[in-house]
Each structure stands twice: as C-alpha cells, then as structure tokens.
A and B are shown apart, each in its own frame.
Chain A
Amino acid sequence: MGVTVLLPYQIPEGKTGAQAIDYLTKRLLALGAIHTGQFLVDCETYISTPQHGPAKTVHVLHDSEYPASTFSILDNGAGKQIPLVADNLFDLLMLKMTSVYTSKKQTKIESKGARFEYGDFLIKLGSVTMMENFKGILIEIEYRPCVVLSYCWEMIRETLQGFLGMPIAKEYPAYFSQQIMNTMGQQQIHTKQNEVYEPIDTINQYLESFTNYRKQNVLPVAGGATGGASSAQNAAANMQGGNQRMR
C-alpha cells in the first residue's frame, strides 16, 4: 500500500475515449510497464428519505485493489464527512436500510480498465462510465513502497510526464494540499502531503472525481462514444480549471 494520485486525463481533441486509452496503453507498454489484469472502482450513493430529517448522503465505494473491503463515506449535509472501512458484508447491511436510505441508481458510476505495473509503480487507466455513458478518463498512479506523498511526488510526477507526454504542475495535487483538521477542529500545520497515506485517501480522491463527473451530468449528453468523449473533454477541462483555482 502506497501513495496514490488520481488524475483526470484530458482527452486530446479529435480523439475518442477508446483511442485515448489505446494511445496511453501503447505509451505505457513502450515505457516497460507490464499489463497485469483489470481493475474496477465503483461508487453508489444512498440518500436518506425526507421523513428522516435533513438529507444525508452515504457513498459506498468498492476498489478491486482491496477486494475484501467496502468503503463508505457519510456526508451529513453540514460539511462533515465520516469515512468508514468495513468488511464487504457491509453491503448487505446497506440493503437492510433501504427504507431509510435509498440508492440513487441513475448516479451509479464506475471507473474500469487495465492495470499496469512498472517497477513498484501501479498504473491504472480507467474509463469512467455512469449509466453506461462514457464520462472521461481517470488515471490512477500508485507508488507502492512509499507512504508519504511529499517524499515521492517528484518520482510520480516524472513517471506521469513520461507516459502522458505532457508537463505536470510541480505543486502537489489539490487533494493533498488541503489542511487536515484534528479532532479538536483546529487546523494543523502540516497538510496531507506529509501524512502517512491510507487506502481511504484513494477512495476520497475517487469520490471527489466522481462527484465532479456527476455534476456535469446536467449538460446534455449526446449518445455514442464520440459524443461521450467530447463531454468528457469538457469534464477534463473543468477539472483542470478546478485544479488551477485550488492553487
């Protein structure tokens, strides 16, 4: 288990999502990476029924890298998020709560694709789909031996630049520059990039990206792969903009 950085990939103009994945796969293989199977990260969101007080949201995620676990993040609607890592039987429990928490089926979203190993790096090229609609490409890169981002960010950045063929900003990704609140609610001096990384951090990053993809669901989505790709382009552009705002 090591540091993971999740990066929305901006699909080059005039390319479909499938073509972009193909292009990245070729570059990775040329770099010396080895194809080691598939991966899947999915997210389902449950929302409390109106009779049950203020709306609360439970996001339930699964990551094929941690097949025995279910990750859930509860958003109480007042800015507080509580993460929970549990055995995957937790899914059965969620089913018991259907009368209070109902699943929003139309927002079920997943990132699925090929998994590569390059030295101790783990690189995943995921195509994000929601309701069978292609939404964009998420690149996950994990450097497994290292547990602190600030130690190995330059390595990750160099590898990313190596196969993406484009420059990556020197600053830490937005997710890592946020301040951590301690239990007393005070802001601590150090930020996430200096913390020991945990699997839930990967899940948080996925949830952040998924939420962004869902938000731009309100845009009219034309059917078919090409249409999907262009909307994904918008998504990536939005994300990039978001990143810049963060800095």
Chain B
Amino acid sequence: MEKLNSTLGAVRSLRSSVRQCFEQLADGTNAELAEDSRTKFLLKFQENFNNMNAQLREVESLINGLQAPQTPYCLGQTTYLAQETAPERQALYSQLVNSYKWIDKVHDHSFLAFNNLNQNNLRRSYVYCSQKRVRIPFTSCNNFDPDHTDKLLSEINLPLTSYQVCRPFGSNVVVIVTISRVLKAAIVCKGVLIEWVTVKGFDETLDPDDLWAESRYEVFRKVQEHTHIAMLHFFSPTLPDLAIKSYMTWLHSYSKLFLEACKRCGKFVSNGLPPTWRDLRTLEPFHEECRNC
C-alpha cells in the first residue's frame, strides 16, 4: 500500500513539474531583453526538463516495483480460466471480472432505486420492504453456493410433500416436489432463483431429462401456467431465501387442488376444471375466471 502511495505521489510531482515546464514555455521571453535573459530561459527550461526526466524515471522504477494487485473477486471455479494456455482466451477472466463488477454495480444502483421507489405508495403488488432494514449482506443470488441451496431446501418441510433434489445441469438444482397424491412439480433453479416449473399429474412420469413436456391433463397445464405467474410474483432477488420458502408454501396449497370449492362461486367444477388458482397471499382457491371478478 505504501509503495502504491509513493508511486502516486511521484506521479503527482511529475505532473506538476510538467505543468511548470509548460507554463514557463508559455510565458516565453521578453523580446527586447538581452541575450543573457534568453540563455537564462534556456537554462531554466533545461533544468525543468531534466527534473521531468528524473521524475519520469523514478515513476517508472516505482511502477516496476509494484506487484500486480490480487483480484478482489473470486468467481468460483472460473478463476481457472486465468490459467488458460490458449492466448486468445487468456483475457476471458479479466473480462469476466469486469462484467461481474458491472453487474454488482447495477445491483447496488437498483437496490438504491428500489428503496427510493418504495417510498412511493402507488404499488401494484404487495411486496413489503421495510425502510428500517439496513442493507442486507448480500451475495449475488444467481451464483450461490450449492451447500446453501441444499440447506435451504432441507429447511423447507411441509406435510405430505416430498422433495427430491437432483443436479442434472452441473451445480444448478432441479427439485422434484411430490405433493400429497395430487401432483408432481419439477422446479428448475439457477442458484436459488426459480427459472422454470413443470407440473404433472401424480400418475405421470416426470423425468429430469425431459422437463419441457407438458402434462396430458388440462388441469395440470393450467396449474403450470399459474405456477409461472406465482414464480414471477414471488421473485425477489434481495431476499432469495424467503422467496423460495414462500413459493413452496404457496405451491403446497395445491395439495387440496380437487378438494376445495371456489371461494367466489362456491362450485367445484367450472368448464370441466377445478379451482386451479390459489390466491398469492391467502392461498384461497378460485377458478381462473372467478379470480378477477
């Protein structure tokens, strides 16, 4: 650190002497003055010039003495990219670090913006964010430690529900949730953010290798649509753990998918479907068409 300081000091003095030199040159000489004043000017310039040279050399030697600063960001296993032998790929890691810094900055700004905008009461969703809360210690939520994800998922424990965690895509998690004897859902996470949900019937197969096939039953296709709505609703990059937990609680309310009548019309079946929508806050069942009236 000291070395860095002295280098910076040397750069400063170099800059000031360059400036002095140019100032003197700009002032020039008096035209009517005699020869000796001209030589004096020349000598002064030479002195300045030598000064500059000396300082420049000093700066250069100081810079050579500096160690390359250690990267402050450790991006997991991507650091191995820096050891890449192919020359055209060597720069990748520094670029990655740069973009990572950018993202972090964006996060900072958006967090501030979020807090500011939150003071405005005209909110459409009921996301609650306390003003009193200090900024939470915050790591990027889409680059999570796998152990943390495991721990988080093991904490979620709802009745009649089983969770099966698998990692078909490297470190990212696919959670197969079986709710009662009603449905199965595959939740694809990136870190701890939910990226995709597939819902199928209890008697259908849900293969982690084929998560994009739709259920053969209309009711589960509808439920899947609703899970996507909820996925966006519960999305909260600032509190990812809470988001996952509330999402799971919401999803669990489907354990009574066929058992509950719609809260508005009081019927079980409408258009051949049970109440497929669950209110995001109260978890009350509604038919899709009853939900908005």
Q: Do A and B come from one complex?
A: yes
Q: Which of B4-12, B15-23, B107-115, B270-278 contacts A (4 or more CB under 8 A)?
A: B270-278
Is there a chain B Cβ closer than 8 Å to A242's Cβ? Answer: no
- B240: chain A residues at CB < 8 Å are none
Tell me which residues from 157 to 172 in chain A have a Cβ below 8 Å from any Cβ of chain B: 158-159, 162
**A159 to nearest B CB, angstroms?**
5
Cβ of B182 under 8 Å from chain A? yes
Q: Interface with B: A69-77, A85-93, A145-153, A232-240, which one?
A: A145-153
Which parts of B238-293 form the interface with A (CB within 8 Å)?
257-259, 261, 267-269, 271-274
Closest to A31 in B: B272
Main secondary structure on B side of the interface with A: loop
**With A119-B271, A155-B258: A147-B203 Cβ-Cβ less than 8 Å:** yes
Decide if B202 touches A32 in the complex (CB within 8 Å): no
A118 within 8 A of B: yes
Chain A residues whose C-beta falls within 8 Å of the C-beta of B180 in the assembled complex: 151
A105 on the interface (CB 8 Å rule)?
no
Residues of chain A lying within 8 A (CB to CB) of residue B271? 32, 119
Whether the pair B217, A120 counts as a contact (CB closer than 8 A) is yes
Question: Would you call B181 an interface residue if the criterion is a C-beta within 8 Å of the partner chain's C-beta atoms?
Answer: yes
Known: A144-B217, A145-B201. A162 touches B181 (CB 8 A): no
Contact indicator B181/A196 (Cβ below 8 Å)? yes
Please indicate which of the listed interface residues A146, A147, A162 has the most CB atoms of chain B within 10 Å of its own CB.
A146
Question: Does chain B have a CB within 8 A of A84?
Answer: no
Given known pairs A2-B203, A145-B201, the reply for A152 and B258 (CB within 8 Å) is: yes
- How many Å lie between the Cα of A154 and that of B275 in the bound state? 13
Within 8 A of B (CB), among A24-83: 32-33
Are A158 and B203 in contact, with the CB atoms below 8 A?
Answer: no
> Smallest distance from the beta carbon of A55 to chain B beta carbons, Å?
38
What is the distance, in angstroms, from A211's C-beta to the closest C-beta of chain B?
A: 29
Q: When the two chains form their complex, are residues A158 and B269 in contact, meaning their CB atoms are under 8 A apart?
A: yes
B234 within 8 A of A: no
Set of chain B residues within 8 Å of A159, measured between Cβ atoms: 269
Q: Are B272 and A145 in contact (CB under 8 A)?
A: no
Say if the beta carbon of A95 comes within 8 Å of chain B: no
Which residue of B is nearest A159, CB measured? B269
Contacting pair A120 B203 (CB below 8 A): no
B203-A155 in contact (CB<8A): no
Could you say which residues of chain B place their CB within 8 Å of the CB of A143?
258
Residue B218 interfacial (CB < 8 Å) = yes
- Specify which of B201, B220, B258 lies most central, judged by the most chain A CB atoms within 10 Å of its CB: B258
Question: What are the nearest 8 A-B pairs in CB distance?
Answer: A119-B272, A152-B258, A145-B217, A155-B268, A118-B272, A158-B268, A151-B258, A145-B201
Given contacts A119-B269, A147-B202, 19 further A-B contacts (CB under 8 A): A2-B203, A32-B272, A119-B271, A119-B273, A120-B218, A120-B272, A143-B258, A148-B181, A151-B181, A151-B182, A151-B258, A152-B259, A152-B274, A154-B259, A155-B258, A155-B269, A155-B274, A159-B269, A196-B181
